[in-house]
């Protein structure tokens, strides 16, 4: 009897668990069917909302290659190959590329979002976005005030972009589109009529480094996307100038910018504690403060102006960095050095150690750097004039020769000995620099008792001096020798050298290598 009751109890429990398992299985099947129905109905609903929201927001045609929805964790939405085209009039004007393309996007929302309009989305993740702003000339074809008759059906708090780019188009001959690589952007408060806050990292190819920027963007201008407003502050750290052939150093920069995508005004500073050129490889600290305008329609940058300090020398420059299609950039600047030190410029440009001379420098010159793969030192060109004051030659032998020349030219040859007191001298010149050479059409060197007028060239590697000219002296030839007998013997030749009110005009030649130039008479003249 007891066994029968026990068997009955076991059978009842087994029957109960069987019904529970069957019920769970039925529930799973029902949920799966419901989920399938939800996905089946949610997919066209959500796809329509995405397309209508974007079409309304950007007033343009929208295409999408792939779209999927999952309900495993609420609503998980993903899409591929999304394209937004410019307005029809802009396309008709020739802007056939999509205005915006998205390689892939995804976002998560609650199931209740299907029944709420507009749907609220926290974060949208986007990969492989490209924004292609048509040239201004094409955008001007757009009728003002026309808007797409749709509704914003999805509101987004934040969009995260990875591996994106911004391309500013141009139809100007000889120009290439301006291409900005954007490794990561986070946009917040993405509303239809207010600026969006962003935090972005831009990839800078030359000099190589990442630029971090944060600020506001928009509102997006449907009729003219290139006129959409952008503001922000940026930092650019550890930019390797060695990626520019012929230049060395590590640059850092901070600043702020504002304007439109196709015309951005930038104010900032740069610090390069070890700036160098390959003509010398002598690091010199370089600091700049600049005001620049970036024209996105052409890729050109206008510097207005740059205030710079190289070592202990302050100078300014203004001009343009012009984009040349398929070649790179042409740099044209007007440079003004009101009160610099010649040793700072010689140290950065010339290999000779120590620098040939020190002194106070005033200079105005036009700087031109042509495009091309060569080193900057091979492409750079200068043309201008300068004045040097308080000149001192760092080579004691050279300085002694200058000091003794001054004493002889004043008619005091007996005092012209090594170790004589340094004289104050001045140099005025007009020059052209290219292909690593300095050519002087005029090089006038004045010191007590004499004026030296030369022309010639000097290679920046310090390997060759070659100058010819004349020395005008206060004293006669016979008065410039210490020996009484030599002075008497030279008196007959005084008339041959006495010219134009000078005691003597003597042809000279300066030649040599490195830091050991040689001075002598030019007997051919």
Cis peptide before 241 (omega within 30 of 0): no
**What's the pLDDT at 401?**
86
What sign does the dihedral 386-391-396-398 (CA atoms) show? positive
- The answer to whether 415 and 407 are in contact (CB under 8 A) is yes
**What's the pLDDT at 30?**
46
pTM of the model: 0.76
Residue labelled with tokens 């051919």:
524
**What's the pLDDT at 297?**
63
**What's the pLDDT at 301?**
86
Give the residue among 184, 194, 208 at the shortest CA–CA distance from 155: 194
- The answer to whether 369 and 246 are in contact (CB under 8 A) is no
What sign does the dihedral 517-472-474-362 (CA atoms) show? negative
Residue ranges covered by each domain of the chain: 34-210, 228-381, 395-521
**What's the pLDDT at 33?**
45
**What's the pLDDT at 255?**
95
**What's the pLDDT at 147?**
47
Give the Cα-Cα-Cα angle 500, 503, 508 (nearest 5 degrees). 85
Residue 77 structure tokens: 């939405």
Give the residue among 455, 444, 470 at the shortest CA–CA distance from 386: 444
Helix (H, G, I), strand (E, B) or coil at 452: strand
In sequence order, which ranges of 425-520 are alpha helices (DSSP H)?
484-490, 494-497
- The answer to whether 456 and 510 are in contact (CB under 8 A) is yes
Q: What are phi and psi of 25, to 5 degrees?
A: -65, -45
How many whole angstroms separate alpha carbon 195 and alpha carbon 40? 36
- Cβ partners under 8 Å of residue 11, min gap 6: none
Give the Cα-Cα-Cα angle 477, 481, 482 (nearest 5 degrees). 155
- The answer to whether 109 and 77 are in contact (CB under 8 A) is yes
How many whole angstroms separate alpha carbon 17 and alpha carbon 2? 23
**What's the pLDDT at 150?**
58
Give the Cα-Cα-Cα angle 480, 484, 485 (nearest 5 degrees). 110
**What's the pLDDT at 34?**
46
- The answer to whether 261 and 281 are in contact (CB under 8 A) is no
- The answer to whether 292 and 266 are in contact (CB under 8 A) is yes
Average pLDDT of each block of 10 consecutive residues along the chain (525 residues)? 53 56 54 48 75 80 86 79 81 75 88 70 89 68 51 78 81 67 84 81 81 88 80 90 85 92 90 88 92 78 91 94 79 94 89 86 93 83 93 88 89 87 90 85 91 86 80 89 86 86 86 69 60
**What's the pLDDT at 358?**
92
């Amino acid at each position: 009897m007891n066994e029968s009751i026990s068997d009955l109890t076991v059978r009842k429990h087994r029957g109960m668990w069987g019904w529970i398992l069957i019920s769970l299985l039925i529930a799973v099947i029902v949920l799966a069917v419901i989920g399938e129905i939800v996905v089946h109905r949610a997919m066209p609903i959500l796809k329509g909302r995405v397309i209508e929201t974007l079409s309304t927001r950007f007033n343009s045609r929208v295409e999408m290659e792939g779209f999927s929805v999952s309900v495993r964790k609420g609503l998980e939405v993903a899409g591929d190959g999304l394209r937004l085209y410019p307005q029809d009039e802009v396309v008709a004007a020739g802007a056939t590329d999509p205005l915006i393309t998205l390689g892939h996007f995804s976002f998560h929302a609650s199931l209740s979002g299907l029944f709420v309009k507009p749907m609220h989305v926290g974060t949208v993740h986007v990969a492989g976005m490209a924004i292609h702003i048509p040239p201004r000339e094409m955008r001007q074809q757009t009728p003002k005030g026309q808007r797409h008759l749709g509704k914003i059906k999805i509101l987004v708090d934040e969009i995260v972009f990875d591996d994106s780019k911004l391309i500013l188009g141009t139809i100007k001959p000889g120009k290439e589109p301006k291409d900005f690589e954007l490794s990561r952007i986070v946009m917040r408060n993405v509303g239809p009529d207010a600026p969006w806050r962003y935090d972005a990292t831009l990839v800078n190819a030359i000099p190589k480094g990442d630029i971090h920027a944060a600020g506001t963007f928009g509102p997006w201008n449907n009729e003219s996307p290139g006129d959409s407003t952008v503001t922000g502050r940026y930092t650019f750290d550890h930019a390797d100038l060695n990626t520019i052939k012929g230049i060395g150093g590590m640059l850092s920069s901070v600043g702020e910018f504002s304007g439109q995508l196709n015309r951005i005004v930038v104010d900032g500073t740069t610090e390069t504690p070890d700036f160098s050129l390959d003509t010398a490889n002598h690091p010199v600290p370089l600091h700049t403060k600049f005001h620049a305008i970036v024209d996105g329609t052409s890729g050109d940058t206008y510097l207005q102006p740059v205030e710079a300090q190289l070592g202990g020398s302050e100078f300014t420059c203004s001009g343009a960095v012009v984009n040349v299609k398929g070649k790179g950039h042409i740099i044209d600047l007007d440079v003004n050095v009101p009160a610099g030190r010649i040793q700072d410029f010689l140290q950065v440009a010339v290999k000779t150690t120590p620098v040939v001379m020190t002194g106070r420098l005033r200079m105005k010159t036009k700087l031109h750097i042509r495009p091309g793969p060569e080193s900057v030192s091979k492409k750079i060109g200068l043309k201008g004039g300068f004045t040097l004051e308080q000149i001192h030659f760092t080579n004691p032998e050279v300085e002694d020769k200058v000091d003794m020349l001054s004493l002889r030219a004043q008619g005091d040859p007996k005092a012209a000995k090594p170790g004589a007191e340094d004289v104050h001298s001045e140099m005025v010149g007009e020059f052209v620099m290219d292909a690593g050479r300095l050519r002087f059409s005029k090089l006038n060197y004045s010191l007590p008792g004499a004026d030296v007028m030369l022309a010639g060239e000097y290679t920046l590697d310090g390997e060759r001096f070659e100058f010819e000219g004349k020395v005008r002296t206060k004293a006669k030839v016979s008065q410039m020798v210490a020996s009484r007998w030599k002075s008497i013997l030279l008196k007959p030749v005084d008339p041959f050298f006495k010219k134009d009110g000078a005691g003597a005009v003597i042809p000279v030649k300066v030649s040599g290598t490195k830091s050991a130039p040689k001075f002598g008479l030019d007997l051919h003249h």
